[in-house]
């Protein structure tokens, strides 16, 4: 973690197209966010990470950028953006932008000029000749596509895209690319942005385009994961762009292991401030996320403890726009939505690191309730469904895969009220609103003193006010089948967080039983046993 980073930061992630629609076109926008700033400030967060709002043909909902210096008209204007930065700042909230620099859109001017034969811009991308009528290599693709698409009308040249074919990968061997991206970053920093969330940042630099070792998924990854070239780029960006502005950066780092994470965020190396690791999000999967198993709490605990112990500081998150809603992953969670959501608030705010709260998480939103594939928008879901079909997986199974794992689960519109448009829009929403918005919504939660929202607010305020939650060391105390406990301690203070990650009551482990003062709990009373999804934060006496 670098010196520009404030340890009391709690970040709120907004997926703009699903947050609040101010003009009735069914798509959330910047004015919608501006009008929600008082609510956002009332959560106690002090930074907002905006998923991409740049000009984009929206093949991957804005993660395919066609102009890095323009706001998509769907979201508003540059004036709206400047107002958002100003108004957020007035409430003590920083704006963090999404920086998508592994790839651009194929509609970006650079790619278009490359297609028109401009040599300078050809070198911005990774364009290769096929080998004897075959593709340039055997690599895999994150979206279950072929990663090579013919370049223009060429019959033997292809461009590389690790995501959709409308997302050509940039060539980070070319110093011009670094110069362009640095310029783009300065453009936003000059407008008052405080930092960046760097999309798939650990895969940007490909060492070689040689064939990769055959794997079940993503053959070729050993040639681009956390390469030295990537480390050098991050160092340069930190030194020449971020430092002078006092800005910070969190990296989204796919497949990252502890050693790689350490190298990416070790303060002495001066690269990233923290990373989003994935291991804890993968504890309920077999090989790939599409094959989900039951979430075993003990696996989750061990994974959390491992990462807490292995890094001095990291990003703490349980939801984002790519993952199903976390509380929907507990198969025995039915009927305990509120307790579960509060338990996750307890986890997110007591682990060591910077908490990221995803829009709707603070009211306990659940997975989308899609009935069929026509209701799903996400490109990845459609591709994976088609691939599963080509593999002859039964249709009921295919649909179940999408239902459980689709990224759209987290992208359903924010539930502001019980109204028909959920207070999100007066028009037709771009993605189906969850039926349960009649029950789960901000308006209802705001009127409750003991509801989910009130609990998230309380936990966020504790996280920011208790030094021990901010600076304390992490020590795991107990990792049982469903019960998890750990201590956070500074020289002067020690607190213990206890969780029962199950719908069944559990015994309080003897080793952590002691006289203590209760700081927070998602139950009104204290009992000897731990009730379903109970969370307690206590201060042991003596």
Interface ranges with ligand TEU (CB under 6 A): 60, 63, 100, 142, 163, 199-200, 252, 254, 321-322, 380, 407
**Longest Cα–Cα distance in the chain:** 76
Hey, how many other C-beta atoms are within 10 angstroms of the C-beta on 338?
Answer: 20
| Host H or E run for residue 536 | strand 535-540
Q: How far apart are CA 358 and CA 430, in angstroms?
A: 19
Q: How far apart are CA 162 and CA 142, in angstroms?
A: 6
Q: How far is the CB of 323 from ligand TEU (least distance, A)?
A: 8
Pick the catalytic residue from 199, 271, 319, 408.
199
Closer residue to ligand TEU in complex, CB, 399/416: 399
Pick the catalytic residue from 58, 106, 252, 380.
252
Q: How far apart are CA 157 and CA 122, in angstroms?
A: 12
Closer residue to ligand TEU in complex, CB, 142/330: 142
Closer residue to ligand TEU in complex, CB, 12/484: 12
Contact 118, 220 (CB under 8 A): no
CA 298 centroid distance within chain? 23
Token look-up 């004015």 returns 31
Closer residue to ligand TEU in complex, CB, 167/516: 167
Closer residue to ligand TEU in complex, CB, 100/401: 100
Q: How far apart are CA 489 and CA 73, in angstroms?
A: 49
- Burial track 443-482 (b if 16+ CB lie within 10 A, e otherwise): ebbeeeeebbbbbbbbbbebbbebebbeebebebebbbeb
Closer residue to ligand TEU in complex, CB, 321/437: 321
- HSE on the CB side for 509, CA within 13 Å? 17
Query: Active site includes 267?
Result: no
Contact 2, 238 (CB under 8 A): yes
Contact 262, 311 (CB under 8 A): yes
Contacts for 526 with CB less than 8 Å, ≥ 6 apart: 518, 536
Q: How far is the CB of 78 from ligand TEU (least distance, A)?
A: 23
Query: Active site includes 132?
Result: no
Q: How far apart are CA 189 and CA 283, in angstroms?
A: 37
Phi-psi group of 92: left, alpha or beta (phi > 0 → left; psi -120 to 50 → alpha; rest → beta): left
Q: Pull the structure tokens for residue 166.
A: 């409308």
Residues known to be catalytic:
199, 252
């Amino acid at each position: 973690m670098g010196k520009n980073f404030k340890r009391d930061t709690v970040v709120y992630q907004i997926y703009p197209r699903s947050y609040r629609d101010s003009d009735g076109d069914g798509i959330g926008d910047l004015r919608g966010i501006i009008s929600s700033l008082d609510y956002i400030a009332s959560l106690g967060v002090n930074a907002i990470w905006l998923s991409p709002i740049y000009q984009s043909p929206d093949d991957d909902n804005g993660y395919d950028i066609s102009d890095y210096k323009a706001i998509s008209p769907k979201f508003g204007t540059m004036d709206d953006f400047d107002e958002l930065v100003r108004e957020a700042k007035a409430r003590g909230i920083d704006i963090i932008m999404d920086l998508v620099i592994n790839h651009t859109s194929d509609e970006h001017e650079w790619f278009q000029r490359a297609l028109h034969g401009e040599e300078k811009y050809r070198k911005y991308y990774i364009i290769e000749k096929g080998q004897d009528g075959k593709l340039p290599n055997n690599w895999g693709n994150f979206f279950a596509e072929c990663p090579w698409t013919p370049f223009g009308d060429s019959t033997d040249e292809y461009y590389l895209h690790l995501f959709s074919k409308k997302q050509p990968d940039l060539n980070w061997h070319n110093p011009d690319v670094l110069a362009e991206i640095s310029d783009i970053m300065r453009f936003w920093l000059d407008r008052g942005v405080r930092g960046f969330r760097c999309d798939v940042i650990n895969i940007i630099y490909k060492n070689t385009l040689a064939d990769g070792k055959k794997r079940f998924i993503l053959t070729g990854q050993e040639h681009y994961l956390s390469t030295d070239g990537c480390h050098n780029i991050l160092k340069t960006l930190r030194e020449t762009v971020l430092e002078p502005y006092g800005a910070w950066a969190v990296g989204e780092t796919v497949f990252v292991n502890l050693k790689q994470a350490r190298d990416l965020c070790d303060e002495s190396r001066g690269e990233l401030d923290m990373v989003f690791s994935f291991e804890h999000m993968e504890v309920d999967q077999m090989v790939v996320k599409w094959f989900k198993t039951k979430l075993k709490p003990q696996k989750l605990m061990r994974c959390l403890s491992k990462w807490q112990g292995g890094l001095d500081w990291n990003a703490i998150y349980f939801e984002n726009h790519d993952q199903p809603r976390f509380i929907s992953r507990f198969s025995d969670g039915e009927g305990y939505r509120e307790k579960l959501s509060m338990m996750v608030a307890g986890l997110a705010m007591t682990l060591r690191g910077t908490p990221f709260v995803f829009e709707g998480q603070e009211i306990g939103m659940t997975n989308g309730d899609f009935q069929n594939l026509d209701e799903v928008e996400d490109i990845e879901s459609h591709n994976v469904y088609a691939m599963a079909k080509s593999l002859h997986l039964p249709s009921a199974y295919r649909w179940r895969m999408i239902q459980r794992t689709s990224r759209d689960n987290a992208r359903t519109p924010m539930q502001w009220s019980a109204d028909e448009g959920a207070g999100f829009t007066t028009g037709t929403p771009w993605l189906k609103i969850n039926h349960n918005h009649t029950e789960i919504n901000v308006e209802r939660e705001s009127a409750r003193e003991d509801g989910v929202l009130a609990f998230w607010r309380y936990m966020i305020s504790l996280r920011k006010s208790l030094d021990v939650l901010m600076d304390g060391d992490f020590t795991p105390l107990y990792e049982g089948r469903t019960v998890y406990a750990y201590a956070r301690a500074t020289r002067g203070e020690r607190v213990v967080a206890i969780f029962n990650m199950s719908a069944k009551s559990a015994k309080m482990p003897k080793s952590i039983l002691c006289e203590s003062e209760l700081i927070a709990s998602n139950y009104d009373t204290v009992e000897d046993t731990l009730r379903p999804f109970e969370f307690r934060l206590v201060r042991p006496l003596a």
